[in-house]
Amino acid sequence: MNISSLKAYITEGKLNDRLASLYGKDAIGMQTDRYLKTIDNYVKQYGETKRDVEIFSVSGRSEISGNHTDHNNGKVIAAAINLDVIAIVTKRDDGIISVKSEGFDKVDVINVNDVLPKEANYFSSYALITGMCDGFNRNGYSIGGFDAFTTSNVFKGSGLSSSAAFEVMIGNILNHLYNGGRVDNVEIAKIAQFAENVHFGKKSGLMDQMACAVGGFINIDFADTKNPIIKKIDFDLNKYGYYLYIVNTGGNHADLNDDYSSVPTEMKTVAKLLGHEVLRDVKYSDIIDNSAMLREKAGDRAILRSIHYLNENERVSKQVEALEKEDLDTFFENVIASGMSSFRFLQNVYTVKNVEEQGLSLALAVSEQVLLGKKAAWRVHGGGFAGTIQAFVPADMSETYKTEIEKVFGKGNCVALRVRNDGAVKVI
């Protein structure tokens, strides 16, 4: 439908059921306003087109367990969340892709005949778009032009996967505009990882893209990265009287790409020194028995990070079993153990480039002061070094926790999330 028809459709409440399924009934009004505003912003950018307009949504994700395990074929628990990227899109037939994102001055303009990776484009949204196009090409799927205006309420640099959601969004659009929606969301996630690794220049794993694309509360085993085992977990925090809070500490991942990339690099260095490609094939005894050689050739931090990986994989399995048995004590015990391991062994709670800024450490300290002994849990969330922490908070402690955290990090930076069942979708 065209712009005017689409706005009328939304204003008349005909999209309400769809919005409720994505965001919850209490968010229908806010999301209606958000969608209408984004359509208006599309018109400001591209004009009042008479072409058919389509709307797409891709969720952010919350890593529940498995901190920095995916890039070494590990195990994770993740969940799609009700913070998302939405895009207002029209198809064009000249092979040009134009993407304008709210809050950014630059418009990315790509010719679909020129989408090979270029180092000069590293760490840019332009590279993510060309990467998705290139990935679709390499996998035998069709690509073509479109105009898109996007907006996101996934905090940038938050550990909620704003970049993964954007990559998956481009794939979501290409899937529906040029492939009849036949590309499976798991396949889109794999292409998104290719885009981030090869075009964007960041050695990410596959968890972020997979959780954003697939949706719901999921356990993923990446032992075979070409065919990861994805298992849905029927678990509702609200049922047990808990909130999942994300605390945005205000840090940004923009200057931390080498910090982030050092984690998989060091882990794989240890694996290769032990005769393997990834740590999934390594045992703790292999590390200890060869520790003298590893200390000399890889360094102590690489060994510590590898020990974290091995223990974290075991924790994921324990937590999946705990959730299936509704054993929250064991689940929370392992959430806290995961956070402690990330702080001490993985060492991704702050960057050594700027030790004066330790927002994650501070948020963890405040969380411990408020929640210790309260049948709750807290941990660093996502890639780390900056961004967010995660806390599982009982309902009767919810307001106290939010108040104390916002004294330090400001209003609006302690957000309760809802797990959503849909990942990458065409809304209308």
d(CA 392, CA 242): 6
379 neighbors 335 (Cβ within 8 angstroms): yes
Q: What is the pLDDT, as a whole number, of residue 378?
A: 98
Two structure tokens written together for 280: 């999934």
What's 349-405 look like in SS3?
CCCCCCCCCCHHHHHHHHHHHHHCCCCCEEEECCCCCCCEEEEEEEHHHHHHHHHHH
Q: What is the pLDDT, as a whole number, of residue 228?
A: 86
List, in order of start, the domains of the chain with CATH numbers: 3-233+420-426 (3.30.230.10), 237-417 (3.30.70.890)
Q: Which residues contact 89 (CB under 8 A, 6 or more apart)?
A: 53, 54, 55, 56, 146, 147, 148, 173, 177
Two structure tokens written together for 294: 């590893």
| Strands (DSSP E) found in 8-105 | 54-65, 75-92, 96-101
Q: C-alpha angle 107/113/115, rounded to 5°?
A: 65
**Considering Cα of 281, then 287, then 289, then 294, what sign does the dihedral take?**
positive
Does the pTM surpass 0.85? The reply is: no
H/E stretch holding 109: strand 107-111
144 secondary structure, DSSP code: -
d(CA 154, CA 102): 12
d(CA 308, CA 315): 10
129 neighbors 99 (Cβ within 8 angstroms): yes
Q: What is the pLDDT, as a whole number, of residue 251?
A: 66
What's 241-275 look like in SS3?
CEEEEEEECCCCCCCCHHHHHHHHHHHHHHHHHCC
Side-chain half-sphere of 125: how many Cα atoms within 13 Å? Answer: 20
195 neighbors 132 (Cβ within 8 angstroms): yes
Question: What does each of the 428 residues of the chain score in pLDDT, given as a tens digit?
Answer: 999 999 999 999 999 999 999 998 989 999 999 999 999 999 999 998 889 999 999 998 888 999 999 899 999 999 888 899 999 999 999 999 999 999 888 999 999 999 999 998 998 999 999 999 999 999 999 999 999 999 998 766 544 557 889 999 999 999 999 999 999 999 999 999 999 999 998 877 687 888 899 888 889 999 998 888 988 888 877 788 898 999 999 865 557 888 888 999 999 999 999 999 999 999 999 999 999 999 999 999 999 999 999 999 999 999 999 999 989 999 999 999 999 999 999 999 998 888 888 999 999 999 999 999 999 999 998 888 888 899 999 999 999 999 999 999 999 999 988 888 899 999 99
Q: What is the CA radius of gyration of the chain?
A: 21
d(CA 185, CA 425): 9
d(CA 281, CA 272): 10
